[in-house]
Every structure is written in C-alpha cells, then in structure tokens.
Amino acid sequence: MRFRKIEANKYEVSVDNRNKHVTYGFIKDLNDDFIKLGKGSVGNVNGEDLLMSESYAENLTGTWSTSSPPHYYTTQVGATFSATATGDKIVFRHRSDNCGGIWGFIVDGSTANKVSISTWAEIDSTASATESVIFTGLENKLYTIVGMFKEVDPNQAPNDGTARGWVWCKTTDPLHKTMRGYVEGGNLQYTAQLLDEYSNKEIIFNLGYGSKNKWIPEHDAISLAFNKVNPKFLMDDVEIDVSALALYEWVEGTNFRLVQNNYIRTSESGVTNLAE
C-alpha cells in the first residue's frame, strides 16, 4: 500500500500485488475543509520502474561552485554531499561533460559496497540531467547516500585540465533534484477510472435547522464543514507530515487511514456549530 500527494490538496492511495493495482484519490472540497473520496482507478503494474522519492544534495563539505544551478560542482578531492532515497534502486543525477571526474558512493554508511561513477562525457548534457544507477537490488526502504569526489577519470583526462565532480541540484526547483529512489518494475498503469473525482461517495446527511436544510457533504458550492482539528494521514498508525511531503513521493506501508473531525455550520448559523 502506498500514499502520495499529487497536488497541494489532492492525494492518492494505491494497493497492488506487483501485477494489478487499485488506486483511490482523495481531494479537499473546493468550498470547505472536508476531504472527499475522489476518483478510483484500476490497472496493471508494468515492468517500468516506479519513482518513490527524490531529494536534493545537502550537507556539502569542501569547496563547491553552486552559483549556476542546477550545475553544482566541486574540484576538491574529498569533498562530499549527502542525499536520501526510498526504494530498491537508487539513481544519481548529474551533469556530464568532458571535464567530468569520478564520484564514489556509499549507502547507509557501509563501505562494503562502494560504487564509483564517472561524470565524464564527450557531449555536454547541460540541458538535462544524466541519470546514473548507483545501487540496485536493495530492500525497499529509506536510505542515506554519501558521495565523495575521488579523482580525475583515469580513462578520460579533463578537457581543461581540471576535473569536476558534477551534481544536478537546484533547491528552488522540484524538477532539479539530485537523488532518486525507485521500485524496479512497479510502475502503475491507469487502465480504467471507475469513480468520478468530484462526486460525493462516502455518506450523506440531510441537516435540518429552522425551516432550512442542507446536504452534508456539501452539494451546492456552499461552505459547511470546518476543521475541529487538522486532518491526520496515517500509515501503519504513524502520522504523515503531508505539508513536508514532496509531490509524487510515495510513503509505503500496509494500513492507511485518513482521520477527520469537522464542525458543520452555515452562513445563516454564523459561528454556531450545528453538528460535528
């Protein structure tokens, strides 16, 4: 089971067996605080990799040039950075050119599985990131990866005599992150949509007050539901901080819950709560 945020007020929960999936959408009501069950889709899980998370390079040590993002680089052997990734496959994103040098990587502090990646290329990849796979066959979980700039590529001398350790990073742009985590062969295909996104589905009440009545959840573009407490998104009973969750970053577990507690009031009732 996986949960992710796809827009500021839209969410998805997907359940799959690596063969087929069912995915439900949740959407905050446009007029009040209630989060509705939205669209429902089914489909196959194909052989493409499923992006689980992305992160920027951080904790930079040594001397770096960061003035032309996303083209970060260091020329100092021993300079380091760290990043995180969730998944069973980890991909490092970087610029490549004829000055590129070699990075060494370790995961979760283990030096037993060091990996070296060259950022040298004959053709400059200024416009888009080169994606180099650094780890595969891992357990699907959260990892911390540390990169250290090692040396000139022994097979390719730098064109201007100075080797650069390139890193793709622009912290003001979510499309320019450094490290990606994937689940291999876990991509979701949306074959059929079975539930419409904007219809009310869970339960409905008719609230009478005085000579008036209203349907709850709202059906008439009228604000009715207001948070008593903020909603909670829980995976395996651990609350997910959706405000800090990057768009399209999956949180994996076995049991998802959305907990809401709303007061009901209308424009006629003012601040008086008619129901909870």
Same domain? 69 vs 179: yes
The domain boundary, picked from 137, 166, 183, lies at 183
- Give residues with Cβ within 8 angstroms of 160, minimum separation 6: 99
User: Of 102, 57, 61, 105, nearest to 82 (Cα)?
Assistant: 57
Query: Which token pair is 148?
Result: 């250290």
DSSP character string of 180-227: EEEETT-EEP--EEEE-TTS--S--EEEEETTEEEEES-SSS---EEE
* pLDDT tens, residue by residue, 65-101: 999 999 999 999 999 999 999 999 999 999 999 999 9
Quickly count: other Cβ atoms within 10 Å of residue 197's Cβ: 14
Spatial contact of 128 and 97, defined as CB atoms under 8 Å apart: no
Residue 99 sits in the same domain as residue 36: no
Give the end of a domain, one of 183, 205, 221: 183
In a domain, 219, yes or no: yes
Q: What is the pLDDT of residue 45?
A: 92
CA torsion sign for 130, 135, 137, 142 is: negative
Q: Please indicate, yes or no, whether residues 124 and 82 belong to a single structural domain of this protein.
A: yes
Q: Beta-strand (E) ranges in 80-129?
A: 80-87, 89-94, 101-107, 110-118
Per-residue pLDDT, 201:
78
pLDDT, tens digit, 9 for 90 and up, residues 163-174:
999 999 999 998
The whole-model pTM stands at: 0.75
The answer to the question of residue 20 being in a domain is yes
Integer Cα distance of 100 and 181 in angstroms: 23
Three-state DSSP state, 9: coil
Q: Give the range of the structural domain holding residue 218, as residue numbers without chain letter.
A: 2-48+188-264
Question: pLDDT truncated to tens, each residue of the chain (276 aa)?
Answer: 999 999 889 999 999 988 999 999 999 988 899 999 989 999 999 888 989 999 999 999 999 999 999 999 999 999 999 999 999 999 999 999 999 999 999 999 998 889 999 999 999 999 999 999 999 999 988 999 999 999 899 998 898 889 999 999 999 998 899 999 999 988 889 899 999 887 777 778 888 888 888 888 888 888 899 999 999 999 999 999 999 888 888 999 999 999 999 999 988 888 899 999
